Chain A
């Protein structure tokens, strides 16, 4: 059973408000299909939570959206820009929070942010770095090497790194896994702060968090969308049943 987003009439409003538009996306590694004819949209300011068992193609999907992996076929528009046209322009508008903080251990917090800020050509970089360090409560450790940071502090700095260039679209790949409660609070706080004018796509295994934050939930299995629903109309019992089935099928 496949769900097409068209059923929910999202396409009519697409012109004005669609931030991410994926049409008939396929990705195969050799003969193996990792993503099989995936189509969906995310509205500007929307929050899509993607669930699914391991190997369902969630991470590949995020990697395609964030220009790290090229699709085999299909159309992908991020912020109205096609993936083939100008990936560099897309990269300016997106941020990715994943399990690894992507920080250099032998640079201090400030140098790490300064490095990424220069790559992104962030205007008023110094001010912006100070602001972000305040936000993640690391100002007092700004000249300490990242090597000396705890995992939670590294994750907080990673959040600062991702938000430094004010991306309009945020991809979160299991952002809560491996975070200490303090970092979870800061992350959730930041997400709530910037909701509305930012668009989110999150992969998660946590049903509570995923549903709480989302406007739209989606389940991927074997590269296909097997469930897609807006939260307002979400039939949570049915959703849970399908989710548990897919995860069980994994083992």
Chain B
């Protein structure tokens, strides 16, 4: 019970800070918009041609914007030494992990909710609204994996000499399996596949990935924070 209150306190603090400065959300949003504009010039503006690649384009955008957010979420903790303040507090280490992870999950999801309609209008010709339930499940499972792994690796990155430059190098190769699952599931839905088999198997894979990395990160976070 008290742990829940502590998780909520960490989350609340991050949300208040963010709503005040809007640093992270603004840059994440602008990044997504800019990427979409670049896609238009890179791949041409024909929505019918682009729809089969929708999943790939979507997750390139979301994954890189997630990296922006993950880095940002630890900058204050590190710069003001606040991470040490958290470590000094009588808080179980997993509480810190869950608090930070939930924050990252929420920020990423907010950006996705805002930009997904724009993305759809820009690039997707098929109306996938009837399958939106499955689409949202795929989105949630993918976000969970990104935040679970990302929070752990961002904590490592921020403590290295190269800081935010380290995160993509560590995070991208580890997230590739999840990325494939995300691209296949959302891409197939957006393209209006008749064969839902690969969507189901991708969703199952995403679920397995999430469980594995949530458990591992939860268990290893202690070692990342300190001795």
Interface residues of A, Cβ cutoff 8 Å to B: 66-70, 88-89, 91-92, 94-96, 98, 100-107, 111, 115-116, 118-121, 145, 161
C-alpha gap A90/B86 in the complex (Å)? 14
Interface of B is mostly: helix
B81: shortest Cβ distance to chain A, in Å?
4
Whether A120 lies near B87 (C-beta < 8 A) is no
- Considering residues B2, B85, B87, B92, which has the most beta carbons from chain A within 10 angstroms of its beta carbon? B85
A161 and chain B: residue at smallest CB distance: B85
Question: Which of B14-22, B152-160, B211-219 sits within the interface?
Answer: B14-22
C-alpha gap A66/B142 in the complex (Å)? 38
Interface residues of B, Cβ cutoff 8 Å to A: 2, 5-6, 9-10, 12-13, 16-17, 20-21, 76, 80-82, 84-92, 226-227
Whether A106 lies near B82 (C-beta < 8 A) is no
Known contacts being A68-B226, A118-B5, is A104 close to B82, with CB within 8 Å? yes
Whether B76 lies near A88 (C-beta < 8 A) is no
A91 and chain B: residue at smallest CB distance: B90
A170: shortest Cβ distance to chain B, in Å?
12
Known contacts being A118-B9, A119-B9, A119-B91, is A106 close to B21, with CB within 8 Å? yes
C-alpha gap A211/B102 in the complex (Å)? 48
C-alpha gap A100/B92 in the complex (Å)? 23
Chain B residues near A107 (CB-CB < 8 A): 13, 16-17, 20
Whether A116 lies near B81 (C-beta < 8 A) is no
Whether A118 lies near B6 (C-beta < 8 A) is yes
Whether A104 lies near B76 (C-beta < 8 A) is yes
Q: Which of A70, A91, A105, A111 contacts B80 (CB 8 A)?
A: A105
B9 and chain A: residue at smallest CB distance: A118
6 new A-B pairs (CB below 8 Å) besides A66-B88, A68-B84, A119-B91? A67-B88, A95-B88, A98-B81, A101-B80, A102-B80, A103-B85
